Chain A
C-alpha cells in the first residue's frame, strides 16, 4: 500500500512527460512474417528513463514491435521489417550496425524466466565476458554484486553464487534474468510480459524493481495486465490488430483516453 502511494506521488511529478527527450524513435515501422503483415506503419517513440508499457489484446503486434527494437526478429527467417527505428539518432537497421553491439545496448528480459543452466555467477558474468567488459576476476565480482543488487537479488543469493541458477524460485529466476541483462550495462531494457509466469508476490517484487531501474535505464514493457501497466509505466501505448491505436501518458490513458477502442479495451469490452 505504501509503495503504491509513493508511485502515485512520483507519477504526479511526472505529469509533464512531453518534455522528456526521446531515446528510441520508431517511424513507419511495418513487420511482415512472409506474406502476412503483422504491424502497420507504427510511429512510436520511447522516452529516456521512462517506463513505456505496450498493451493490447493477444496477437495485436505489441511483442512484435518490442522485438524490432533490438532486432530479435532477425532470428526468424521469414520476418521482414520496413520503416526506420533509431537509437540515439543512429538507425538500428543500418547495414553498418552490428547486431551484437545493438543487443548490448538494448537488453531483453523474456516472458518465461530463462536462466542458463549454469551457476548464478556464470549467468550474470556471461554478458560482460562476451562483450569484454571486465578484465580481471575482481572486476567480474564487482559486476556480479552490483547487478544482483540492482536486481534486488543480492541478499538472497550472495551465499550461493556458485549454485545453479535453475534451482531458484520462479520470481528469483526472473530477477536473475534481469540482473543478467543489467550486467551488460544496456541503455534500454525490453521486457516481454516479464511477470506472466510469476505469482503475485514475485510480480510485486519485479514491479518494484522495474520502478527502481527506471532511474538508470529506459524500459519498454509488454504486459497483458492493465493494472500492471498503470502501476509501473509513465507512458502507455495501445496496439490493436497491428496498428498503434493510441500513445499517451499512462494517467491520461487510464482515465480519459483519446480513442474509443482504448476506452473499450480498458473497460474490458473486448480483448
Chain B
C-alpha cells in the first residue's frame, strides 16, 4: 500500500507540488492579512469607545455627589410669621422671608458680625438660593416646626460645590475667581466641624430645570422621556406589527407593494429632524396640539420608530421557516390561525428586539424634539403627556450650553444616566432573543 502511493507520488510530484506550495502560502498570507485587518478595525472601535466612556465618566462621576451645608436653622416665629396670621391665611407661609433664617444660622455658625454687610453677603452666597424653597417646603409641610431649631442640610452654591470637589483652579488671582479666599476659609472651618460634607446627589434624579446647577436635575426630563416611550410603545408596536404582517403575509406582490417596501426602507433613513418638521406642521399647526407636550413628541418619535419596527418585524417573519406555515396550512388552519398560532410566536423575539432597539433609538433622539418646542425650561413635573415637558437628551443638550462649571459635570452625569438606560434596553433585547430563541 505504502509502496504504491509513493510510486504514484513520485511520478507526479514535481510540477504539481511546486505550484501547490505557492498557492497555499499565498492563501494563508491573505487569510492572515484579512484577520489582521479585522482585529485592527475592532481595536480602533474599542479605542474610541474607551475614549468616549473615559471622557464622560471622568467628567461626570462627580455629578452624583453634591456638597451640602448642614446648619441648625432656628425657625423663628418673629421672622416667618410675626403677626401670627398663619391659621387664618396659610398662604402667608409661602411668602415668608426664609433667606433670613439661613443668614441668621450662617452668622451664628461662622461667628460673623451681623452688621458687616459685605461679609454677611459673602457668607450667604455660599448657600444655594434654592434654600428658600427648601425651608418653605419644610415649614408648609409641618407648621409645628415654627419656634423650634432643627438641623437642615442646605445645598451649597454651585461654585462652592465645585470648589469643594477641587474643580476650581485656586492659583488664579482671587479677583478672577468665582470663590474668594474668605469663603475658602469658611469652607475649611465648616468641613472640619462636619457641617459641610459631600452627599449622594438625589436631586440630580428628582429636580427639574433650574438656572442654578445645584438645584438642576433630570427628573422632569426623565418623566417626559418616559411618557414619550410609553406613547411610542403603545402606538408603534401594534401599528408596526400589523403593517408588517399584512405586507409580509397578505399583500399581493405587485408594483404597489414594492413601492411601499422601498418607501419604508427610505423612511428608516430619513434624517430625524425631518420628522420634527412633519410633527410641527401636522400635529401642532394643523391638529392644534400643544407645543412642548410629550404627546406630540411621542407621536413624532412613533413615526420615526415605525420603519425600524416594520423592517425588523418583516425580517423576523421572513425568517420563520416555510415548513411551519405549510404544516399549519396542511392541517386545515386558516391563514390567520397559521400566522397568529405559529408564525408570529416564532417571530416574536425578532419583533421585540427590533422594538427595543427602535425605542432605544427614540430615547436618544434630540433633533425632532427641538422643532416641536420640547427644548424648554420645565421646572415642574408634567402631570399628563399634554403638559409642557422636555426629554433627557434635550436636557443634556441644554445643559451643554450652560457656562457654569457645575453644569459641565451634570451634563456628563446625565449622559451617563442616558447611556445606562440604553445599555439596559439593549441588554434586554439580547436577553429576550436568547430566552425565546427556538430550534426547529
Residues from chain B with Cβ under 8 Å of A100 in the complex: 332-334
Tell whether, in the assembled complex, residue B323 and residue A75 are in contact, meaning their CB atoms are under 8 Å apart. Answer: no
Q: Is the interface of B mostly helix, strand, loop or mixed?
A: helix
Bound form: Cα–Cα A184–B325 in Å: 17
Residues from chain B with Cβ under 8 Å of A131 in the complex: 332
Residues from chain B with Cβ under 8 Å of A126 in the complex: 328, 331, 333, 341
The yes or no answer to B337 lying at the interface (CB within 8 A) is yes
Tell whether, in the assembled complex, residue B331 and residue A110 are in contact, meaning their CB atoms are under 8 Å apart. Answer: no
Bound form: Cα–Cα A131–B341 in Å: 14
The yes or no answer to A181 lying at the interface (CB within 8 A) is yes
CB distance from A124 to the nearest CB of B (A): 11
Tell whether, in the assembled complex, residue A130 and residue B438 are in contact, meaning their CB atoms are under 8 Å apart. Answer: no
Tell whether, in the assembled complex, residue B323 and residue A103 are in contact, meaning their CB atoms are under 8 Å apart. Answer: no
Bound form: Cα–Cα A180–B333 in Å: 13
Residues from chain A with Cβ under 8 Å of B328 in the complex: 116, 126
The yes or no answer to B440 lying at the interface (CB within 8 A) is yes
Tell whether, in the assembled complex, residue A180 and residue B329 are in contact, meaning their CB atoms are under 8 Å apart. Answer: no
Tell whether, in the assembled complex, residue A104 and residue B332 are in contact, meaning their CB atoms are under 8 Å apart. Answer: yes
The yes or no answer to B394 lying at the interface (CB within 8 A) is no
The yes or no answer to A263 lying at the interface (CB within 8 A) is no
Classify chain A: how many residues form its interface, as a range: 20 to 34
The yes or no answer to B327 lying at the interface (CB within 8 A) is yes
Tell whether, in the assembled complex, residue B330 and residue A103 are in contact, meaning their CB atoms are under 8 Å apart. Answer: yes
Number of A-B contacts (CB under 8 A): 68
Tell whether, in the assembled complex, residue B332 and residue A127 are in contact, meaning their CB atoms are under 8 Å apart. Answer: yes
Residues from chain A with Cβ under 8 Å of B438 in the complex: 117, 166
Closest residue of chain B to A115 (Cβ to Cβ) is: B327
CB distance from B246 to the nearest CB of A (A): 15
The yes or no answer to A101 lying at the interface (CB within 8 A) is yes
Bound form: Cα–Cα A103–B327 in Å: 11
Tell whether, in the assembled complex, residue B341 and residue A103 are in contact, meaning their CB atoms are under 8 Å apart. Answer: no
Bound form: Cα–Cα A250–B204 in Å: 85
Tell which of B324, B333, B337, B346 touches A114, judged by Cβ atoms closer than 8 Å.
Answer: B324
Residues from chain A with Cβ under 8 Å of B334 in the complex: 100
Tell whether, in the assembled complex, residue B327 and residue A184 are in contact, meaning their CB atoms are under 8 Å apart. Answer: no
| A window 89-116: CB within 8 A of B | 100-104, 107-110, 112, 114-116
The yes or no answer to A46 lying at the interface (CB within 8 A) is no
| A window 47-89: CB within 8 A of B | 70, 72, 75, 77
| B window 289-323: CB within 8 A of A | 321, 323
A-B contact pairs, 29 of them (CB 8 A): A70-B330, A72-B329, A77-B252, A77-B253, A100-B332, A101-B332, A102-B332, A103-B330, A103-B332, A108-B326, A109-B330, A110-B326, A114-B321, A114-B323, A114-B324, A114-B327, A114-B440, A115-B327, A116-B324, A116-B342, A117-B439, A126-B331, A127-B331, A130-B333, A131-B332, A166-B439, A181-B330, A181-B331, A184-B332
Q: Which residues of A contact B (CB under 8 A)?
A: 70, 72, 75, 77, 100-104, 107-110, 112, 114-117, 126-127, 130-131, 166, 177, 180-181, 184
Other than the given A116-B324, A116-B342, A130-B332, 11 more pairs (CB < 8 A) read A70-B330, A72-B329, A77-B253, A103-B330, A104-B332, A108-B330, A114-B323, A117-B440, A130-B333, A131-B332, A166-B439
Closest 10 CB pairs of A and B: A108-B330, A114-B323, A103-B332, A104-B332, A127-B331, A114-B327, A117-B438, A100-B332, A117-B440, A130-B333
Q: Which residues of B contact A (CB under 8 A)?
A: 252-253, 321, 323-334, 337, 341-342, 346, 438-440
